[in-house]
A and B are shown apart, each in its own frame.
Chain A
Amino acid sequence: MIAFFLALGVLTVSGGMAVLAGRNSRLATCWGVSGALVGCLAGLAPAIQVLMGSAGFSFRSAWDVPYGEFYLAIDPLTAWFLLPVFGVSALAAVYSSEYLRPFGERQSLGPIFGWFNILIASMALVVAARNAVLFLVAWEVMSLASFFLVTFEDEREEVREAGWTYLVATHLGTAFLFVLFTLLGRQAGSMNFDQFSAISSMPSVLTAVLFLLALVGFGTKAGFMPLHVWLPEAHPAAPSHVSAVMSGVMIKLGIYGILRTLTFLGPPPAWWGQTFLMIGMTSGVLGVVFALSQHDLKRLLAYHSVENIGIIALGLGIGLLGHSKGQPVMSWLGFGGALLHVLNHSLFKALLFLGAGSVLHATGTRELDRLGGLLKTMPWTAFTFLVGAMAICGLPPFNGFVSEWLIYVGGFRGFLEFTTRSGMWLGLGIAALALIGGLAAACFAKAFGTVFLGSPRESRAHPLHEAGPAMLIPMMVLVGSCLAIGLWPHRVVQFMMPAISGIYNETPSLNIEGMASALAGLMMVSATAALFLCITLALVVLRRLSLSNRPISQTVTWDCGYTAPAASMQYTAASFAQPLVRLFQSVLRTQSHEQAPAGYFPASARLTSHTPDVATAYLFLPLFAKVRRGLEGLRWLQQGRVQLYLLYIFITLVVLLVWKLGV
């Protein structure tokens, strides 16, 4: 526990020092990055210790806040979430030392390093808090810190807009959490989490309400469709290392919140699992479909976060359904897949956002159709982005496949076992997961293909440069972890065991037939991944042999005899995705503006297309417009006179006093 406090202390102090460094951007960078590194390494130690099997830590101390207690604990579930919190954030911090340098010439870097370290500390506090008040405080600090990070480039209109959307969304979500914890606190008679878990029985209506509150409150942070609307706004607006941490780590804390709440609510009824399956299917499929229609690299990645949260929700649904139907192996596979995907997604999504950041750093644009051919100027960034793309598509031999495999196999277990409607749900879930896999591969073929392959679509004034070592080394570490989990999944799963059993306090015995075959399956996945790499290597040798002493020549790409091919004639990202976008037109509602060529000697033609978020455009904007119209009747309250506001405060106090004294 001391190491954990050390981590929190170092992060907060170094954050403060970075702010104090002010306009001296080198000093601020120094404080911020070294503090983040030391803090994160210190924080990782207890997490790894707990996952290795040592007893959990806890710490309690009185706190003056009403109902609050300074109560922290690290159990395996917390420890599992601490891995991405500290691991990915440390790498992002190293990356930022170089990424932010150009900004340092224009503005002070103190605040961004300060808020970044505060964000890490608050995320760690969120997963370690065992008191609802403390949890909410940490949650709020996390939301505010990330808000200030998102609005770093606040001189740009769209960044302010995105920050505003994020601030509203996150607070609406938090409002649900207040209700959730208040209701739980009333039942338990205390705001401590251990008292919540000890609630002996609750009316089933109340559990249902609590479940739904948690679903909306934490789901807003996690980004379940249609609560995801802030994600595609905030992630592109934030600096790339912040997007990496927000998308890779912070939204996972929504999943953590849901898991933690599940431990309070007792045995789950079957409809919870079905609800999660439904959420998973909609978020997964719609997330990737919207990603396909995007032209902005970081916005595309943000929609993929929605998709991956959907995959995690599918895993949770399978786990819950398995638990409620008395299928321990299925439950284990579902929860295991979800938890492993939490870690995996934090690795490859951070990798992809950092890669996108390097592209932005070098070219100054996120617009897919203005890029191209970057593989030749930025070979290492391209390589790391390719690994991230394959991992996120769930392709072996990388880590994404392992977690998706666990979820598939869990789904199939239940599918073969159940004869009721639940089995049908699982069948749908499996089909949806297959569709998601296919579409994700299409989308990343588009993203990687347009940005890195072919030739540059625009000529640039300055020659492009590869990212420097401070940016590349964190990305290479992430590549290494993606490959390591893909090649040694059984090790990682053993590490994860205590975290999975932390959810419902049950571990299926390793001797059960299903468990044994699942673990053996993981070994085989690992063996196959290694074999696949070996066969590829063998083919490399074979080709080298067959090409030795043979002529190898270079020429142009086959152009059907056309004499003046140009880089702008390459297939664009928009054209690449067009057939799929068209198929899903009924949900996407892509708007295109066309100026067709006219006359015998057409001079100009234009085609632009734009896909607004369907939930924003057709659900939230009309809803908020209605609310606003409804509230216009209260305008007279706002007169802008200070005396009047003082009067309001006075009246409120009197009313509260009267109520409290019961006159």
Chain B
Amino acid sequence: MSVIPLLLSLGLALVCPPLLLGVIHKTKAILTGRVGAPVLQPYYDLWKLLQKGAVYSRTTSWVFRAGPLVSPAAFLTAALFVPLTTPSALLSFWGDVVLWAYLIGVARFITVLAALDTGSSFEGMGASREVTFASLAEPALFVALAVIAKVTGSVQLSEMFGPVLGQAWRTAGPALALAAASFFLVLLAENARMPVDDPTTHLELTMIHEVMVLDHSGPDFAFILYGSALKLFLFSVLLVRLLVPVHIGVVWLDLVIVVAGLLGLAVLIGIVESSMARLRLIRVPQLLVTSGVLAAVGLLLVWR
């Protein structure tokens, strides 16, 4: 295995994430008849935030300051396991899917604690919703992953989302389709997108992820923005690899396909966001349970 494709995909994973957000925003702008911000706006935002100083609440402690550092670190570590293209990810071992999911759990845990550290009711509310929905999304994610594991015969991310999938779609297409649908719902929920969370709202009472990070500012907020873009990127890569199991063998061609898939997915998310309203908070658990049920039906299909 040569090093260059690995480094190339690592570089892409580091650079690409904010682009997805830009594409989502642009899609939403176009669909609602606005010109919208440039596609590269998230990068400008990050750059601007990194230039700023910081404001901290007097109530907060080191936990609040640790949140914006630990969560992107967890996502960066998780990114090393995600196979952007070709045979393998940078790190890979039998059972890495569990570690991947739990690293995302670490990021969530520390973000929630940082939110609670401000002592604000709004942030407490956001944190409470986040943990509620996350603990329902977790089993759905694992059942969806179990379907893919059963079909590909592995619990190693780079094999589960590797070349074997192309063959698997022929033998277990319906099950994989259900798993993909479930995975898409988990992606929307985990990344604070519609219909679970409204990333553009400006009312503290209705937000989930945004309200948790209300008090962060400057470079801290830049780290958070980058981290959540990276999280979206990680989930999107897996979904794209699942839906487009093309494996040509030429590194740059494979990369182009994946990136095209990612952009397509970003447009799809933009369309979903423009075409529906946020669900009432009481309804969100039902959506997540639906996601789990879809994956479970997929599991029954694989079982014959």
Contacts and interface: CB of A to CB of B under 8 A. Distances in A.
B267 interface: no
Contact of B56 (A427, A554, A570): A554
A264 interface: no
Contacts of A437: 102, 105, 138
18 contacts: A375-B117, A395-B105, A415-B149, A416-B150, A427-B299, A444-B109, A449-B124, A532-B73, A532-B74, A532-B103, A538-B73, A539-B72, A540-B69, A553-B53, A555-B56, A571-B128, A579-B285, A583-B136
Contact of A453 (B76, B93, B117): B117
A86 interface: no
Contacts of B117: 375, 449, 453-454
B254 interface: no
B277 to A, nearest CB: 20
- State which size class the interface on A falls in: 35 or more
B127 A445 contact: yes
A88 interface: no
A395 B106 contact: yes
Interface string A389-418: 010011110000100110011001001100
Given A555-B58, A571-B116, A543 B69 contact: yes
A607 interface: no
A601 interface: no
B38 interface: no
Interface string B93-110: 111101101110110110
Contacts, number: 252
Contacts of B93: 517, 520-521, 524
B106 A390 contact: yes
Given A405-B98, A445-B116, A543-B69, A557 B138 contact: no
B218 A547 contact: yes
Name the 8 nearest CB pairs between A and B, nearest first: A571-B124, A438-B135, A454-B119, A449-B116, A438-B138, A442-B131, A550-B53, A551-B53
B53 A441 contact: no
B87 interface: no
A86 B155 CA distance: 38
Chain B interface helix/strand/loop/mixed: helix
Contacts of A431: 139, 142-143, 146, 292
A439 interface: yes
A543 to B, nearest CB: 5
Interface of B: 50, 52-61, 63, 68-70, 72-74, 76-77, 80, 91, 93-96, 98-99, 101-103, 105-106, 108-109, 112-113, 116-125, 127-129, 131-132, 134-139, 141-143, 146, 149-150, 153-155, 204, 214-215, 218-220, 223, 281, 285, 292, 299, 303-304
B95 A438 contact: no
A346 to B, nearest CB: 21
Contacts of A577: 128
Contacts of A434: 101, 138-139, 141-142
Contacts of A531: 77, 80
Contacts of B215: 557-558
Interface string A446-477: 10111011110000000000000000000000
B204 A442 contact: no
Given A396-B99, A408-B95, A453-B63, A552 B54 contact: yes
A85 B303 CA distance: 44
Contact of B120 (A442, A552, A557): A557
A445 B131 contact: yes
Interface string A128-159: 00000000000000000000000000000000
B238 to A, nearest CB: 16
A525 interface: yes
A363 B138 CA distance: 36
A605 interface: no
Interface in A491-514: none
Contact of B129 (A409, A536, A550, A579): A579
Nearest to B116: A449
A521 B146 contact: no
Contact of B53 (A415, A540, A552, A560): A552
A232 B117 CA distance: 28
Contact of A393 (B69, B101, B109, B303): B109
B47 to A, nearest CB: 11
Contact of A449 (B102, B113, B141): B113
A370 interface: no
Given A521-B96, A532-B77, 11 more contacts: A375-B117, A404-B98, A419-B303, A430-B142, A453-B119, A524-B93, A528-B91, A535-B77, A536-B69, A571-B127, A579-B132
B261 to A, nearest CB: 27
Contacts of B77: 528, 531-532, 535
B153 A558 contact: no
A621 interface: no
A107 interface: no
A441 B135 contact: yes
A578 interface: yes
Contacts of A576: 124, 127-128, 131
Contacts of B150: 415-416
Contacts of A444: 109
Contacts of A538: 73
A435 B131 CA distance: 12
Contacts of A540: 69
Contact of B55 (A390, A396, A554): A554
Nearest to B96: A524
A560 B112 contact: no
A621 B211 CA distance: 45
A518 B94 contact: yes
A373 interface: yes
Contacts of A518: 94-95
A217 B30 CA distance: 67
B124 A580 contact: no
B115 to A, nearest CB: 8
B116 A539 contact: no
A409 B98 contact: yes
A424 interface: yes
A372 B118 CA distance: 11
Given A395-B105, A539-B223, A580 B135 contact: yes
B155 A412 contact: yes
A575 interface: yes
Given A416-B149, A431-B139, A439-B135, A517 B52 contact: no
